[in-house]
């Protein structure tokens, strides 16, 4: 691939990397809150969490991204397309984080929660201090898969004109004398993120795995 395209592709790669990192943080926060809501003793919270997960998981991500970038500004909030892309990815991925984490919560022994309540801890304290730390250790592999999927899903940002590696590659393919080289560089950019992430997840799983 001609070297004159490297700077532009590098900028696209950094944008994709930023989308991945920021969206991952947002998704983990949203997913954790939703998981706690879904196992809450309060029926309204359980209903809200379940409705969120069902609606978001069954909405195509490109539709969600366009809704955020073009629909929500009509109601008042005004951000750049990059910020809307991060929010859409975080909201969407948060539903999958929730379900992965909920399975980990269900894997924690019932006696753990009962013991926490016996010493006077409330629901929030029990979740924060007892249940969630164990749940996260249990679901490291599925959470890793969710984050790897998030990395690939960042390509949807191109649909709302965010200049990530996908949008820049698409533009270069039509003007470049070496479209295969551009495609290869684009694929390599995603691998540079997903392969180390997969290795980190494998290593983390070995270090924090719950002994059964």
- pLDDT category of residue 211 using cuts at 50, 70 and 90: very low
- pLDDT category of residue 173 using cuts at 50, 70 and 90: confident
pLDDT value for 6 = 78
pTM of the predicted model over 0.85:
yes
Read off the pLDDT of each residue in 18-28 and give the average, rounded to a whole number.
96
Please check whether residue 116 is in contact with residue 129, taking contact to mean a CB–CB distance below 8 angstroms.
Answer: yes
Round the average pLDDT of the chain to a whole number and report it.
Answer: 88
Residue 152 CB-density burial (10 A; 0-12 exposed, 13-18 middle, 19+ buried): middle
Read off the pLDDT of each residue in 50-56 and give the average, rounded to a whole number.
95
pLDDT value for 163 = 87
- pLDDT category of residue 4 using cuts at 50, 70 and 90: low
Q: What is the pLDDT of residues 76-107, one digit of tens each?
A: 778 899 999 999 999 999 999 999 999 998 88
As a CATH number, domain 3-208 is 1.10.3720.10
Domain ranges of the chain: 3-208
Q: What is the pLDDT of residues 106-165, one digit of tens each?
A: 888 777 777 877 887 888 888 888 888 888 888 999 999 999 999 999 999 999 989 899
Q: Which residues of 127-151 are buried (b: 16+ CB within 10 A; e: fewer)?
A: beebbbebbbbbbbebbbebbbebb
Find tokens 């003793």 and name the residue.
41
DSSP 8-state class, residue 135: H
- pLDDT category of residue 207 using cuts at 50, 70 and 90: confident
pLDDT value for 1 = 47
């Amino acid at each position: 691939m001609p070297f004159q395209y490297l700077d532009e592709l590098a900028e696209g790669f950094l944008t994709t990397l930023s989308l991945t990192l920021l969206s991952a943080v947002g998704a983990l926060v949203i997913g954790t809150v939703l998981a706690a809501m879904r196992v809450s003793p309060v029926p309204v919270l359980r209903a809200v969490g379940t409705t969120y997960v069902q609606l978001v998981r069954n909405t195509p991500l490109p539709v969600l991204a366009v809704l955020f970038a073009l629909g929500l500004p009509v109601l008042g909030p005004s951000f750049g397309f990059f910020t809307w892309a991060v929010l859409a990815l975080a909201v969407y991925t948060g539903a999958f984080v929730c379900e992965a984490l909920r399975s980990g919560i269900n894997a924690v022994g019932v006696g753990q929660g009962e013991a926490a309540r016996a010493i006077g801890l409330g629901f929030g304290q029990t979740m924060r201090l007892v249940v969630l730390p164990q749940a996260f250790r249990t679901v490291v592999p599925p959470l890793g898969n969710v984050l790897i999927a998030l990395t690939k899903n960042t390509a949807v940002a191109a649909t709302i004109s965010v200049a990530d590696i996908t949008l820049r590659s698409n533009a270069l393919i039509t003007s470049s004398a070496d479209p295969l080289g551009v495609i290869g560089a684009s694929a390599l950019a995603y691998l540079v993120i997903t392969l180390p992430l997969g290795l980190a997840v494998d290593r983390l799983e070995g270090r924090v795995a719950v002994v059964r």
